Structure 1
Amino acid sequence: MGCNEKDPTVSADAIYSGGNIITMNDAQPSVQAIAVKDGKIIGVGDTNKINETFKSTNTQLIDLNNKSLLPGFIDAHSHYFNSLQVANQAQVYAPPSGTGKDVDSILTAIKKYADENNVPKGELIIAYGYDDTVMPNGRLLNRDDIDKVFPDNPVRIDHVSMHGTVMNSLALKKYGYNDQTVTPAGGVIVRKEGTNEPYGLIMETAFLPVLAQAEVMSAEQEIAATKAGQQLYAQNGITTAHEGATHLNQFETIKRASDANANIIDVIVYPFITDVDAILAKYPIDQWLKYNNHFKVGGIKVTIDGSPQGRTAKFTTPYLAGGPAGEQHWLGELTFPQDTINTMIKKVYDLNVPLNIHANGDGAIDAFFEAHLSAANGDLTKDRNITMIHAQFSRKDQLSKFKEYKIRPSFYTLHTYYFADAHLKNRGKKQTDYISPMRDAIDIGLHPTNHTDFVVAPLDQMMMLSSAVNRLSRHNEVIGTTQRITPLEGLKAMTIWAAEQYNEEMNKGSLEVGKLADMVILDNNPLTIEPTKIKDIKIVETIKEGNTIYMAK
């Protein structure tokens, strides 16, 4: 500053300029500079004007060097709690995300993990990311395979859908499964041929007892796991994370870490419907829907069906490949009976909190509509802040009901890449091409969001954006040309529209004066780069309320 210049009335902590600033604000889509103070945006606009108004001797001037600055990404749906766990688990995703392409490679990856971590005999080993849809010749993992490599350790290899697991004999014993275990309604327990012995694969409601027996962490472990897990989100430009089906023990872990000020990002949890009463007893509803130490209860989660790649999603027409245990004329199953779903939805409506409903197949979506008709007390079009998680196999006629009933779809376009082959085999080309119909949803006036469902798919936000824009499969085939969207629409689905999903658009989702300085810097511009190269864009820096929480090395 010159000697005659005075410090401004309001001095910015930092001013960002010299790059592509994409605001997600339609009234001012791009600007030259942004000023930040005390974790909030205090100015956006022309560089000279911003400097003149907010620059002082104490202001940090940050040159973007032609990189791109955007609002921080808002996670519309993942399973945040799993991020606390996977730091201590073996990763067996299928290529290109991992090496788990067949039985041998999966077991090799787990053996390598066990050896590198000096896992002692008798200790539980957990792996995540098992994708049976890519296994050659339909040769799937079973109990005996794992027993051969791990005779002395209980081993649990969680299915990529997060709706099940494959266990060896010691793990089956640990979690209480045997030949006397009855398969619950809505569940799958694959039995060894010719016997009633569980053969390893446990899915859906039969898997719930496993989730209820989470390993106990010490207070120090909880804080360390929280920091490690949240760093996974920060590395991917995410400043708000979603915990998509929170059970009581998970809730208490997340809450304790939050109370210990361990959070570097915002965490929004959705208690699972079966745990709501237990959670309400400890955390009354008047404390919900507002942040405390970057922690918020956002509403309630109800699951209606399973996963299409696991062949447990509920459809109105049969799976072409039959059911997961060889069932013929298989439609999939609802997670709970229809009358139970009706009761669950009414409970959420009566509590007057947002609802996240998991529904993949068109039959499950119909089941939710039926529950809505039963529970809505004649007021079908009231805005109840309902988000349908996945909504993947929505029929076109169902989208109009989404609009009429004010239901926001949170789509899952990554399936066009990771699971296209499975869907083509199970559902056929016409239905697969219409998976996650973002184009049609946007065109009728909906504001859909998009998500990774981590750990089902990696948190990679640029891959998620690319899947919405390009819809390319592993084999570089377009899955549903008519449902491609623009890069700007794809970005809105992970910023401003995701903020709307959480009723936080007044504070997040765009770069505007008064909003939080939650931002991400990318090494390229997703609006101008060749669309198939969007997936290669790197996260350079993630900023939460003005503070850098991740910087690429």
Structure 2
Amino acid sequence: MVEPADTIYVGGDIVTMDRAAPRAQALAVRAGRITAVGDRADVVAAHHGGATEVVDLDGAVLLPGFIDPHSHYINSLSVANQVNVFAPPAGPGADVAAIIAALTAFRDRHPIPAGDMLVAYGYDDTMMPGGRTLSKDDLDVDFPDTPVLVGHVSMHGAVLNSAAMRMFGISADTITPPGGVIVRKDGSDEPDGLVMETAFLPIFAAMPKPTPAQEVEWSRAGQMLYAAAGITTAHEGASHAADIALMQRAAAGGATLIDVVAYPFILDLDEILQSNPPETFGRYVNRLKLGGVKVTLDGSPQGRTAYFTTPYRVEGPDGQPNWRGELPFSQDTVNGWFKQVYDLDLPLDIHANGDAAIDVALAAHSFAAADDLGRARRIVMVHSQFVRRDQLARFVEYKIIPSFFTEHAFYFGDAHIHLRGREQADFLSPMRAAIDAGLRPTNHTDFVVTPLDQMFLLWTAVNRVSRGGAVLGADQRITPWEALEAITVNAAAQYGEESRKGALRPGMLADLVVLEQNPLTVDPEAIKDIAVVETIKEGQTVYRA
């Protein structure tokens, strides 16, 4: 006898993301799992009981909960205490004056205790009118004593004021490390404010963390940001040892609204393995699991720190001519990292934006996987922004999953045309070419590089329109169904969870999202305007608009 469902959903479009049966009229849930999907009369007759709640979607749309292929969940813990300086429409940072105004307004609402730091996120130097970029001198006028750090939109650097530079020990005497950027004032060694890549890593590691009393509260607030976007599985994309420990403490303390998958950073791996041996990876404990290891090879194309085989069309971030970006580490070092991870039999996420960085990753794979190049290891080439067609063919051969970042088409597309030229910009995050080659790509926001907004993410993959109205690679547009696959079934496969997440089938987790309209049937231009109505994790509502 079939036990009655806890909940049955009817009265709206049910999009299963199962190509064999893409639509349904009803879905039943019991004990956090889907028990039936199909015809309304059949599901109700077989699964309705005295205590069953029948939810009328009232014309809304039910889909699998969205799975985040790549973002930086750890940053969500502190975003509520930081200043949004994204360029419009994501934030108020249209120019230097607007950024300063946002910082001072935040300070006036939230006085900064002596010794504390004011932190902002989303600074996009490519959007500054006339190339007038933010400097420490700009920040010093209103913040002579309070340390201020304005995070670059790439998350690979920041602009610091003088007080913050003193805090982190950066001065005219500081030597720029290999693979790093410390922009200097013209004609001197005095730092101008912008610090990026390897020069920024020690600063990033020393950023303020929540106190033990705040960890659960901040973690739940961060998870709610994801849930409000319809996300039921979040990604933490470069976890230091302290981050892993914090997330584990918070999860044990009750920060378990949604699932979180964390990827320890390669430079912290040995320390993390002491408390988390390889056999513990891939297993959820309090809705947190270590998914694999993260290696970062280059920077960001909009920050001119991505590594290319051909020069940028402009000088480097510190005025370097014929600038192609740099590899912060030797090929031998990267080979060793890949070999270590492969020998541990752990999945690997590789940050690589420029085609030269992707070449380095493919060479390291060839070295580390020489015994079986095409074995399915769940290797993910994160961003793959400027992948070449010949490299996509290697992805197929090596079973590498590209996780693209189509929001770049909108947020940074005009900058990419300027920095890299039209031909390369048109092949940015080439999802159409990847799908046609037989790959199952995913697509991500890289939050906090761009906002958590899965509908806007879908819109960029389907439309590929820049801020300025340019279409970047019309031939790389994909269908709304394919765009949804990238954050449901394909993302589940990226995590090795395709048997329990990503589609609406009996036996799968009841991780669900309710949207006000169906992205498969609205005008493609309107996809970005669809609102999330409700997010459900294993049968329990965690967010309701």
- Helix, strand or coil for the counterpart of 1:542? strand
Is 1:58 the counterpart of 2:63 in the alignment?
no
Match of 2:495 in 1: 502
SS of the residue 1:172 aligns to: helix
- CA shift at 1:284, angstroms? 1.7
Amino acid at match of 1:272: F
- Picking from 291, 296, 306, the partner of 1:298 is 291
Q: Distance in 1 between matches of 2:207 and 2:278?
A: 25
Matching of residue 110 in structure 1 with residue 103 in structure 2: yes
The correspondence for 2:351, drawn from 338, 350, 358, is: 358
Instruction: Name the counterpart of 1:49.
Output: 42
- Whether the 8 Å contact between 1:306 and 1:335 is mirrored in structure 2 is no
Structure 1 residue aligned with 2:230: 237
Q: Is the 8 A contact 1:188 1:203 kept in 2?
A: yes
Aligned residue pairs, count? 545
> Pairwise mapping of residues 22-33 of structure 1 onto structure 2 (< 5 A)?
22-33=15-26
Partner of 2:142: 149
Which moved further from structure 2: 83-92 or 212-221? 212-221
CA root-mean-square deviation = 0.9
- Aligned residues of 1:78 and 1:242 also touching (Cα < 8 A): yes
**5+ long unaligned stretches in structure 1:** 1-7
Query: Deviation digits for residues 478-509 of structure 1, max 9, x if unmatched?
Result: 11000000000000000000000000000000
Equivalence map 1:310-349=2 (5 Å):
310-349=303-342
Whether 2:462 is the aligned partner of 1:469: answer: yes
Amino acid paired to 1:172: M
Is 1:184 the counterpart of 2:177? The answer is: yes
Q: In the TM superposition, what are the counterparts of 1:73-472 in structure 2 within 5 Å?
A: 73-472=66-465
Q: Secondary structure of 2:5's match? A: coil
Is this contact kept in 2: 1:99–1:106, CA < 8 A? Answer: yes
Equivalent position amino acid for 1:420 in 2: G
1:414-435 deviation per Cα after TM superposition (whole angstroms, max 9, x unaligned): 0000001110110000100000
User: Quick one: which amino acid aligns to residue 82 of structure 1?
Assistant: N
| TM-score normalized by the length of structure 1 | 0.98
CA distance in 2 between counterparts of 1:246 and 1:182 reads: 26
Identity %: 55
Separation (CA, whole Å) in 2 of partners of 1:276 and 1:285: 10
What are the ranges of 5 or more consecutive residues in structure 2 without an aligned counterpart?
none
Deviations 1:158-204 (A, max 9, x none): 00100001000110110121122111111101112222122211000
The 8 Å contact of residues 416 and 467 in structure 1, kept in 2 or not, is answered as yes
Is residue 2:539 matched to residue 1:546? Answer: yes
Amino acid at match of 2:351: H
CA drift at 1:121:
4.1
One-letter amino acid of the counterpart of residue 391, structure 1 = S
CA contact (8 A) 1:163 1:306 kept: yes
Contact 2:210 2:218 in 1 (8 A): no
Opposite residue 205 of structure 2, the aligned amino acid is A
Work out whether residues 214 and 249 of structure 1, in 8 Å CA contact, stay in contact via their aligned partners in 2.
no
* SS of alignment partner, residue 213 of structure 2: helix
Q: Distance in 1 between matches of 2:475 and 2:158?
A: 35
User: How far off its partner does 1:412 sit?
Assistant: 0.3
Question: Could you tell me whether the CA contact under 8 Å between 1:303 and 1:335 is conserved in 2?
Answer: no
Q: Report SS of the residue matched to 1:292.
A: coil
**Kept after mapping to 1: 8 A contact 2:309/2:324:** yes
Distance in 2 of aligned mates of 1:461 and 1:262 = 22
The answer to whether residue 519 in structure 2 is matched with residue 526 in structure 1 is: yes
Q: Which residue of 2 aligns with 1:480?
A: 473
The 1-side partners of 2:271 and 2:351 are apart by 21
The whole-number CA distance in structure 2 between the counterparts of 1:296 and 1:68 is 30
Q: 3-state DSSP class of the match of 2:359?
A: helix
The one-letter code sitting in structure 1 at the alignment partner of 2:521 is T
Hey, what's the Cα distance between the residues in 2 that align with 1:129 and 1:146? 16
Q: Tell me which amino acid in the other structure corresponds to 2:181.
A: V
Question: Stretches of 4+ moved more than 6 A in 1?
Answer: none
1:536 aligns with 2:536: no
